[in-house]
Chain A
Amino acid sequence: MSYDPVFQAKIIPILNRAFSEAIGPVYDGRVYAYVAPPKAIYPLMIYHPQDGGGRRADAIGMNGWEGLMTFRSIDTTLAGAANKLISAAETLPTLTAVGYIIQVVFENPQYFPVERTSEGNYYTVGVLATVRVYKDE
């Protein structure tokens, strides 16, 4: 079992790719890190780190990382946002990435106020999860 000294620098692209592949089909590809593009099409999902980037969590010499992340499902109706979040959440416990073990443990739902814009109302249903990534050998 070899220890990867640059493992922590690989976490963000590993997760971006894994989330895009797993959750993308639920939102027809509209899964974004941090923020949606201007004039986005809904429904969509935005995810981001909630705790400033997590921390190294090596286990018995095996590379590891752990962090708290927020997943926000956004749609023009509350039911739409909620139903999509459930479908997306169901893909996360079996998240995979070649060469890595990824664990997603849901912590709690998160309330978001309705966003009223000139283009209409947007409803967000969110959930926080602890995400762990380990190097798999």
Chain B
Amino acid sequence: MASAKITVELSKLQSIQRGIDTAFSEGLSSAGSMIVELASQLAPKDTGDLSNSGESILTTPRMVEVSFGNGLSDSRAVVQEYGSVLMPAQPYLTPALRAVDIGLEVQKALKRIL
């Protein structure tokens, strides 16, 4: 009687799974850095302190946090982005976030891994 046997090699699938987590982290970090760079260029400049206060931190393997105003003693980062009773908003962070294709950065990182 003829019989058939199938052998499944899982080790490559497992390494791909590990690579996906790494790719997400790399892609998100790359996107976060791009957002900081662009927002720094868009930020209103006087002393340059706001522009230089941007930071991108990978808080979890699947989440990146971009912030401005780090190290500043006042709330100018918020005021410039959203305005105040006396001055209009001059958004710099939201336009930067919208301009960077985060999904594309993750996709590029995935392609490198795969």
Which one of B85, B86, B89 lies within 8 Å of A70 (CB-CB)?
B89
Contacts A51-B94, A51-B95, A51-B98: A112 and B87 contacting too (C-beta < 8 A)? no
Task: Report chain A residues within 8 Å CB of B95.
Answer: 51-52
B85 & A52 in contact (Cβ 8 Å cutoff)? no
Task: Report chain B residues within 8 Å CB of A122.
Answer: 85
Minimum distance in angstroms from A22 CB to a CB of chain B: 21
Contacts A110-B82, A113-B75, A126-B82: A50 and B88 contacting too (C-beta < 8 A)? no
Contacts A34-B83, A36-B85: A52 and B91 contacting too (C-beta < 8 A)? yes
The 0/1 profile, CB within 8 Å of A marked 1, for residues 79-101 of chain B is 10011111111010011001000
B84 & A115 in contact (Cβ 8 Å cutoff)? yes
Asked if B78 is at the interface of the complex by the 8 Å CB criterion, the answer is yes
Asked if A9 is at the interface of the complex by the 8 Å CB criterion, the answer is no
Assembly CA distance A72 to B88 (angstroms): 11
The count of residues in chain A whose C-beta lies closer than 8 Å to any C-beta of chain B is 23
B82 & A35 in contact (Cβ 8 Å cutoff)? no
Closest to B98 in A: A51
Assembly CA distance A115 to B88 (angstroms): 14
Contacts A34-B83, A36-B85, A48-B83: A112 and B91 contacting too (C-beta < 8 A)? no
A48 & B89 in contact (Cβ 8 Å cutoff)? yes
The count of residues in chain B whose C-beta lies closer than 8 Å to any C-beta of chain A is 15
B83 & A68 in contact (Cβ 8 Å cutoff)? no
Which one of B78, B84, B85, B94 lies within 8 Å of A40 (CB-CB)?
B85
Closest to A111 in B: B78
Which one of A34, A68, A115 lies within 8 Å of B85 (CB-CB)?
A115
Minimum distance in angstroms from B41 CB to a CB of chain A: 13
Asked if A2 is at the interface of the complex by the 8 Å CB criterion, the answer is no
Closest to A70 in B: B82
Chain B residues close to A by CB (< 8 Å): 75, 78-79, 82-89, 91, 94-95, 98
Further 14 A-B residue pairs, CB within 8 A, beyond A35-B86, A52-B95, A122-B85: A36-B85, A46-B83, A48-B83, A48-B89, A49-B91, A51-B95, A52-B98, A68-B94, A68-B98, A70-B82, A70-B89, A72-B83, A112-B78, A113-B75
